[in-house]
Amino acid sequence: MSVLAVHHAQLGVTAVRSESLASSVFGAIARQRRLFLSITFGFPVFLYLLLLGILVARFGEFPNYVTPYNWLSGVARIIASTGSVSDMVPIILNEWLLEIGYMNYAYGRGVSEWSLLIIPHKFAIMTLIGALVGLNFALVADQTPAGSPFQQSVRSIRCGLMTSIGALCASLTGITLFWVVCHSSPSWVVSLAILGVEVSTSLALEPVGPVVAAAGLAMLAMSALLIVRDGRSTPESASWQPKEPAPC
């Protein structure tokens, strides 16, 4: 066989594998769509409610103000007043949609001591993380249990650890909390300070945020690929062999 023929054969195998992977993923999503959609859209809602509960427990005060912002109007104003696209994009990404926090009125008109900010692009990232978590759960729910109980336990533990650690790393850097003590814009490092990390230390960790987020997303994707691989290597599929033609 020529080198060109071998190359075409390898490309054909790669295409078949890619098509098989896509069919496995989309097939599991279609069959487990309720589970997938509930986790995809429920994850960001659960996360923001959890953060709000942590703030209340940490400071001992319930939020006393909710401020919605006209995000579309703000974006239109930024586009009209900013000439450079490179300056326009980061400003738009920092536009707020909703603010929930605690206002201390002991100082004149009041000072916002802490708040939880919802920013559209951060919410979209949280939804993407929820979709990856939902994909992992959908793939697991769609598979037929196979192998020994020990193998099933190892796979379940591996999936649970990778999914939880990946979701934690990916979502941690998308948190937008404000605390007046930090004297900074709402960011994920403020949550570290609220949880007890030194303010100077938490602010020093801010540049590594994108790396942590990328690692979390990669771990979620890797977990899904491993689940698909486990489904293909079940004893039922591995033990199948083509039958020999019957002798004449």
CA distance 63 to 66: 8
Tokens of 5: 């023929």
For residue 41, the surrounding DSSP H or E stretch is helix 33-59
- Residue 237, pLDDT score: 42
pTM above 0.85, yes or no: no
CA distance 216 to 213: 5
- Residue 18, pLDDT score: 54
CA distance 57 to 47: 15
Closest to 216 measured CA to CA, from 177, 161, 154? 161
Q: How many CA atoms lie within 13 A of 66 on its CB side?
A: 3
Q: Is residue 4 part of a domain?
A: no
Q: Is residue 84 part of a domain?
A: yes
Domain encompassing residue 49: 25-231
pLDDT digits (tens, 9 = 90+) for 89-131: 888 888 899 999 999 888 778 888 899 999 999 999 999 999 9
Task: Give me the number of domains the chain comprises.
Answer: 1
Average pLDDT over residues 241-247: 46
Q: Is residue 30 part of a domain?
A: yes
